[in-house]
């Protein structure tokens, strides 16, 4: 069958209907470790929020400067992006993608969403905002209105019986959310990289999980950082039997190296590897956003070339 322009328009409209704007109000915050802060959001609009779990992402619009709340000129699906981009730099909220750590409905019938932030001082707008978040602050977000949506990247194929995972601190909340949902009997081998000893969080899962924590040495970055991760993977014994599915997320250069190792050295089917660069060493978040707007973001297609 040949797709028509009408078919494409219908598909685009359906995809847009998967997401909508939400107003999130800070209810409370909790420090989880040296680098992690959990912000719990509430708000009446969350009654329509439908997280698909796993590594469900949403886009947060964080106020800049001394602004307490997010102000957007439009939340209409056809005009919001141009209106937001057209705002002066000094007042335009910064847009950042984060993972839904957990969504729940309380006994009182209120809806809550947890988002875990990595704190590293004021070196990024998101860290700065999270470090100053207090009860009552409101932000805007684009999130899922249906649970089956394209922002859930963890898509385990049928027939795979082992899950391989790598995540650095930026992707650890997503990895933790995935582990929460994996059923008993699932074999998981994971490598989680964090900057400090007390960032080794207690993670809940029913899966049969073997976790290797890689605590990054102070000042270790670039090639040395990637090589240390690869050394841990090369030293590991993977299950000799079974069909693995790999989920990799974190710094883009390290993710590419880990994927190459699994495909070329471990003979994991490249079609069974999902990889996502959450950030890239040497590039600002604004640069990465600009590349995404221009359609130059790295491919996440499991069949793409290494």
Averaged pLDDT, 167-178: 97
Residues 117 and 167 in one domain: no
Largest CA distance in the chain: 57
Residues 37 and 106 in one domain: yes
Q: Is the Cβ–Cβ distance between 297 and 287 less than 8 Å? A: no
Ranges 6-15, 21-30, 84-93: which has the least confidence: 6-15
201: tokens are: 């969080």
Residues 281 and 166 in one domain: yes
Assigned domain for 173 exists: yes
| 78: nearest Cα among 5, 166, 3, 9 | 9
From 86, 113, 144, give the residue that closes a domain: 144
Averaged pLDDT, 242-249: 94
Find the CATH number of the domain harbouring 67. Answer: 2.40.30.10
| CA distances from residue 276 to 57, 153, 213, 219 in whole angstroms, order as listed | 12, 9, 20, 24
Q: What pLDDT is stored for residue 296 in this prediction?
A: 52
Q: In what order do the strands lie in the sheet with 244-251?
A: 208-215, 187-194, 162-167, 244-251, 273-279
Confidence of residue 305 (pLDDT cuts 50, 70, 90): very low
Q: Which residues contact 235 (CB under 8 A, 6 or more apart)?
A: none
Assigned domain for 133 exists: yes
Find the CATH number of the domain harbouring 230. Answer: 3.40.50.80
Residues 278 and 205 in one domain: yes
Assigned domain for 265 exists: yes
Residues 137 and 59 in one domain: yes
Assigned domain for 61 exists: yes
Residues 17 and 139 in one domain: yes
Range of the domain at 129: 13-144
Assigned domain for 57 exists: yes
Condensed to tens digits (0 to 9), the pLDDT of residues 92-111 reads 999 999 999 999 999 999 99
Does the structure show a pLDDT above 80 at 190?
A: yes
Q: Is the pTM of this model over 0.85?
A: yes
Residues 282 and 167 in one domain: yes
Assigned domain for 38 exists: yes
Residues 99 and 187 in one domain: no
Q: What pLDDT is stored for residue 306 in this prediction?
A: 36
Averaged pLDDT, 18-30: 97
From 113, 144, 175, give the residue that closes a domain: 144
Does the structure show a pLDDT above 90 at 223?
A: no
Does the structure show a pLDDT above 60 at 23?
A: yes
| 165: nearest Cα among 228, 232, 222 | 232
Total structural domains within the chain: 2
Backbone angles phi, psi at 275, to 5 degrees: -130, 140
From 144, 173, 188, give the residue that closes a domain: 144
Q: Provide, rounded to the nearest whole percent, the portion of the chain with pLDDT above 70.
A: 85
Confidence of residue 8 (pLDDT cuts 50, 70, 90): very low
Does the structure show a pLDDT above 80 at 219?
A: no
Residues 81 and 191 in one domain: no
Task: Identify which has the larger pLDDT, 83 or 158.
Answer: 83
Residues 57 and 55: their CA atoms lie apart, in Å, by: 6
Residues 131 and 173 in one domain: no
Does the structure show a pLDDT above 80 at 292?
A: no
Residues 178 and 102 in one domain: no
Assigned domain for 40 exists: yes
Condensed to tens digits (0 to 9), the pLDDT of residues 259-287 reads 999 999 999 999 999 999 998 875 556 66
């Amino acid at each position: 069958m040949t797709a028509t322009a009408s078919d494409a328009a219908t598909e685009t409209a359906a995809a847009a209907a998967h997401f909508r704007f939400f107003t999130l109000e800070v209810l409370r915050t909790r420090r989880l470790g040296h680098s992690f802060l959990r912000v719990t959001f509430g708000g009446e609009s969350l009654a329509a929020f439908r997280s698909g779990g796993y590594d469900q992402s949403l886009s947060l619009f964080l106020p800049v400067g001394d602004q307490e709340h997010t102000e957007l000129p439009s939340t209409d699906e056809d005009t919001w992006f141009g209106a937001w981009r057209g705002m002066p730099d000094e007042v335009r909220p910064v847009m950042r993608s984060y993972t839904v750590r957990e969504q729940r409905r309380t006994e009182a019938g209120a809806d809550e969403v947890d988002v875990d932030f990595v704190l590293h001082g004021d070196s990024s707008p998101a860290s700065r905002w999270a470090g100053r978040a207090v009860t009552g602050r409101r932000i805007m977000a684009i999130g899922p209105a249906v649970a089956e949506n394209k922002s859930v990247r963890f898509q385990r194929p049928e027939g795979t019986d082992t899950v391989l995972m790598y995540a650095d601190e930026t992707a650890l909340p997503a990895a933790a959310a995935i582990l929460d949902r994996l059923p008993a009997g699932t074999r998981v081998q994971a490598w989680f990289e964090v900057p400090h000893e007390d960032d080794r969080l207690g993670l809940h899962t029913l899966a049969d999980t073997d976790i290797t924590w890689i605590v990054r040495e102070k000042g270790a970055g670039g090639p040395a950082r990637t090589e240390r991760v690869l050394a841990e993977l090369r030293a590991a014994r993977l299950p000799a039997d079974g069909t693995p599915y790999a989920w990799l997320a974190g710094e883009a250069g390290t993710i590419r190296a880990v994927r190459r190792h699994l495909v070329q050295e471990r003979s994991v089917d490249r079609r069974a590897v999902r990889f996502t660069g959450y950030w890239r060493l040497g590039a600002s978040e604004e640069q990465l956003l600009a590349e995404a707007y221009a359609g130059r973001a790295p491919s996440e297609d499991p069949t793409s070339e290494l």
